[in-house]
Structure 1
């Protein structure tokens, strides 16, 4: 079956007599076993729950992955993957990643004797210069919030040559637009809070993997850490996935129109969206992804006030997160990437003029009209 059909019909099938078309919610912490020498698939819900297993299987099918793990949040998923590291190991990360990931790397790693190094451009990084204790590469592509693109094939191949794991945060595109495992990555992580769930009503995380040994380690950590998704939220995540392709098509269509509008408006100095031919890594994006997603960032010119622009918007809510049906705008320097030191923000380009927009599913004319009116109010 193709993606849209798998999204609706994938996962576990209800094996009860009623044959429900929606997999049931199993609100049970524990499951009775037939005998001491006959334990079943489900024993205790922290280790495994039928409803959670359903959405894990569903997400794995969509990813072309052998295994899927679902967690209580995107950061729970990232933390699970970082749990593979040992004292003395080192991680390479790209220079703009989700603020929560940076907070973990820059604060928690040191307590566990783990090192990290920021790589400004993985596309031109020489892995032969990497320290011998580098065990993992963690990249976001497109990155948050500057929508930079990393060549997954190239980085994965070079990392594999040095026996380094490649982890890709694919939150912005999902498996509908990009499948990093098929491009050579070892592990894919998601904040499923975003596009997979799609309605700003739950937190969830996903980890995808093909390797049996890696899966066994991650499954052990999932059970040990206990940051699992509840049965009700697992059901809601599976429900959101059913319309994922439809929503992403509309998100992307609207984002493309907004990006083009900004590109031609005198108020906007920079537009960061990989779908634009002006994007520095547009060709890499075309080579590895089938779409560009619904997120873009802009930097206003000096003659326009960012605060007034935000306050002038009626459809776009000022809020963190993305991927819901509604349009959101945020100020990365103070809202999503405030954990970055000011010096690092300035070095990367996360300044007070930078704004990130998650374009929703509203009518395109309403979205453009809202932006146009807000820019008029923002003129100094």
Structure 2
């Protein structure tokens, strides 16, 4: 029988604890670097933990199940996952990427991958004619949806149609919605990326990254790369992410409920100029979100009336920390201008609307009344 996503968070592909001889309900941490062989030519299936580890393998099976992929690979961070993925391309290749991406991704593309001979066209994939940027050496389209931090929604199915027509790969960073709310492979993507540090882990206590695919060829390439570059996730961190995923469903639902309440408040606050959230009915991406996602998530970006007010809010919220991350049980406020997107070229920041008055909010699972009141008090205390 087909399992619901809530149940998959607990058991993955129904393998559950099959093959774990003790019957431990919490999958064990196999804290070992190497494995003994019965004799020459025979193996337990594990040789060396850089190649594979039972705890990491179990996590990868769960994540592959959640994203409806045939394979998932767990890396030491989200950026380690993207860095390894870029090794499937070679000097002379060209990629089309959305202009509004996590700043770390842009930093990698512009400073490391371009140095190594890969070129990029950064465009607005939700508005511009993507096909007009395709070149003979174009190999992939790389998007986030919703985008970080401006919450633009990109039509995955449309991008997949373009990619397949030109024999390109479609890569989708699905961090903001998690597999609980969105499954890009179901809409034609070839590869899904996650910063597992965020919603999958859910507790701001470890780093992780994932590459998921439904292609045997890509899986084989990525297995060779992770073995070679050595950036696989450690056993203990794999266990932490497994533990986090068990509560993914309830966390995502509660965080979304809180986010909707905060959006309602912010849209009626005179000192807030703009609120960016895909669940706003008159937002440009609302209908696309309804079609390709099961929810709108808990990430909000909003613009206040001045940079001074933005910095005041960051200083004077009493409950909500000013911190650079997202997806945990704690609500966090981030300042993209100096944090997540500080290394993005100024012209791109301006084009995307990332000003000194913009704040990004990752909404957690606290009481929504407390979160709204904390924002209210911080904003009302500003006398500028």
Fold in common (TM above 0.5): yes
Asked if the contact 1:122–1:155 (Cα under 8 Å) also holds between the matched residues in 2, the reply is no
- Using the alignment, how far apart are the partners of 1:278 and 1:143 within structure 2? 18
Q: Which of these residues, 111, 125, 133, is aligned with residue 121 of structure 1?
A: 125
Aligned residues: 380
| Structure 1 range deviating more: 299-308 or 366-375 | 299-308
Q: Which of these residues, 95, 102, 127, is aligned with residue 91 of structure 1?
A: 95
Change in CA separation of 1:353 and 1:33 when aligned onto 2, cut-off 3 Å: same
Name the residue aligned to 1:79: 83
Deviations 1:119-142 (A, max 9, x none): 123454241551111101110000
Name the residue aligned to 1:250: 254
Deviations 1:65-97 (A, max 9, x none): 111110000001111111111010011111110
2:374 aligned with 1:370, yes or no? yes
- Per the TM alignment, residue 283 of structure 1 is displaced from its structure 2 partner at its CA by 0.7
Q: Which of these residues, 135, 141, 148, is aligned with residue 152 of structure 2?
A: 148
Name the residue aligned to 1:359: 363
- Using the alignment, how far apart are the partners of 2:36 and 2:307 within structure 1? 68
- Using the alignment, how far apart are the partners of 2:382 and 2:262 within structure 1? 17
2:164 aligned with 1:160, yes or no? yes
- Using the alignment, how far apart are the partners of 1:241 and 1:21 within structure 2? 14
Deviations 1:288-322 (A, max 9, x none): 00111111000012497111122120111011010
Q: What TM-score do the two structures reach when normalised by structure 2?
A: 0.96
- Per the TM alignment, residue 109 of structure 1 is displaced from its structure 2 partner at its CA by 1.6
- Using the alignment, how far apart are the partners of 1:139 and 1:219 within structure 2? 23
- After superposition, residues 63-74 of structure 1 pair within 5 angstroms as 63-74=67-78
- Using the alignment, how far apart are the partners of 1:125 and 1:34 within structure 2? 58
Name the residue aligned to 1:232: 236
Q: What TM-score do the two structures reach when normalised by structure 1?
A: 0.97
Name the residue aligned to 1:9: 11
- Using the alignment, how far apart are the partners of 2:115 and 2:67 within structure 1? 34
SS at match of 1:280: coil
SS at match of 2:88: coil
Name the residue aligned to 1:47: 51
Change in CA separation of 1:114 and 1:364 when aligned onto 2, cut-off 3 Å: same
SS at match of 1:318: coil
2:231 aligned with 1:221, yes or no? no
Asked if the contact 2:171–2:193 (Cα under 8 Å) also holds between the matched residues in 1, the reply is yes
- Using the alignment, how far apart are the partners of 2:307 and 2:135 within structure 1? 46
Q: Which of these residues, 316, 327, 332, is aligned with residue 328 of structure 1?
A: 332
2:60 aligned with 1:56, yes or no? yes
Deviations 1:3-34 (A, max 9, x none): 11121123552534421111111111111112
Deviations 1:47-79 (A, max 9, x none): 010000000001111111111110000001111
Gaps of 5+ in 1: none
2:265 aligned with 1:261, yes or no? yes
Asked if the contact 2:182–2:294 (Cα under 8 Å) also holds between the matched residues in 1, the reply is yes
Name the residue aligned to 2:39: 35
Q: Which of these residues, 286, 290, 312, is aligned with residue 308 of structure 1?
A: 312
Asked if the contact 1:297–1:354 (Cα under 8 Å) also holds between the matched residues in 2, the reply is yes
Asked if the contact 1:267–1:303 (Cα under 8 Å) also holds between the matched residues in 2, the reply is no
Name the residue aligned to 1:342: 346
SS at match of 1:320: coil
Name the residue aligned to 1:179: 183
- Using the alignment, how far apart are the partners of 2:158 and 2:206 within structure 1? 35
SS at match of 1:166: strand
SS at match of 1:19: coil
Deviations 1:231-266 (A, max 9, x none): 011011000000000000011000111111111111
Name the residue aligned to 2:279: 275
- Using the alignment, how far apart are the partners of 1:357 and 1:70 within structure 2? 26
- Using the alignment, how far apart are the partners of 1:57 and 1:166 within structure 2? 22
SS at match of 1:70: strand
- Using the alignment, how far apart are the partners of 1:118 and 1:31 within structure 2? 45
Change in CA separation of 1:24 and 1:311 when aligned onto 2, cut-off 3 Å: same
- Using the alignment, how far apart are the partners of 2:298 and 2:248 within structure 1? 13
